Amino acid sequence: MFEQLHNFLSTTPFTDYRIILLLVGCGTFVGFINTMAGMATAISYGLFMMMGLPINVANGTTRVGVLLQFITTSVIFKKKGFLDMKTGWKVGIPVGCGAIFGALLAAILEVKVIEIVMAVLLPIMSILLFVDRKKIALKRASEESGFKPSISDFWIFLIFTAIGVYGGFTHSGVGLLIMFGSFFFLGLDMIRSNAIKQFAVTVYTPLALAIFIIYGQVHWGIALIYAVGNIIGGIAGSYASIKGGEKFIKIFVTIIIITMSTLLIIKQLHK
């Protein structure tokens, strides 16, 4: 069945209405999940590779929809009062700097290396979910008199730069890292951390996308159709995130990480 689907997607022109519906539908689903939590870009990679794109081109192609989606969601979070632009730039700048280096690595490394790195990093990221972040933050605050999380600390700047390297390399999961970083080091709640994620991705994605364009690793036909779904899903995810509140986001993130990690393990076991 998988082979038949692969043959259909790789041989049927994407102007076929069934392919268009599939791209928009999948893009909407991925856009919703990525706005709420993250890691759904792995679905985009899988779909694009089934359509015949190598992983590096699939990686570059996803960035078009990501950019348009997160521009849209950033505007929504800003209008609703959850996005502080000053904090957004303090996170976005180091993430953007790291993304340039990460995208260069993704553009020049062998496809197999990219797949192995993704297979290793995604399960490791799921461990972060089970850390009591609020307890750690409160403990640190009580131990350090007058402590106030600040991105101005050089080591925190380096952490967000490292997150940017990962985001430039692969978009899958970077949103969760930005959210966790904002929660841990900036003392933001999950809704505002999510808003910072939207803006930081908007800042770094054009830099990463430019690298993939230079290396000819963007399929524009697929990218633009898929982006329509990303925008629709992003709008729905933004309002669901704001209306659902912090608890809803935490539950949603938990479900996504467990699901994606399980699917990844099953995939590796079948190889």
Whether pTM > 0.85 for this model: the answer is no
Please say whether the dihedral angle defined by the alpha carbons of residues 260, 266, 269 and 271, taken in this order, is positive or negative.
Answer: negative
Which residue blocks in 37-153 are alpha helix, DSSP H? 41-50, 55-79, 85-108, 111-127, 133-143
213-229: per-residue pLDDT in tens? Answer: 999 999 998 999 999 99
Beta strands (DSSP E) in 181-239 are none
Q: Which residues contact 7 (CB under 8 A, 6 or more apart)?
A: none
Tell me the pLDDT of the chain averaged across its residues.
Answer: 78
Which one has a higher pLDDT value, 158 or 152?
158
Res. 266: pLDDT tops 70 = no
* Tokens coding 45: 């990679």
99-155: per-residue pLDDT in tens? Answer: 999 888 877 766 556 556 656 665 565 555 555 555 555 554 444 444 454 445 788
Contact criterion met (CB below 8 Å) for 237 and 66? no
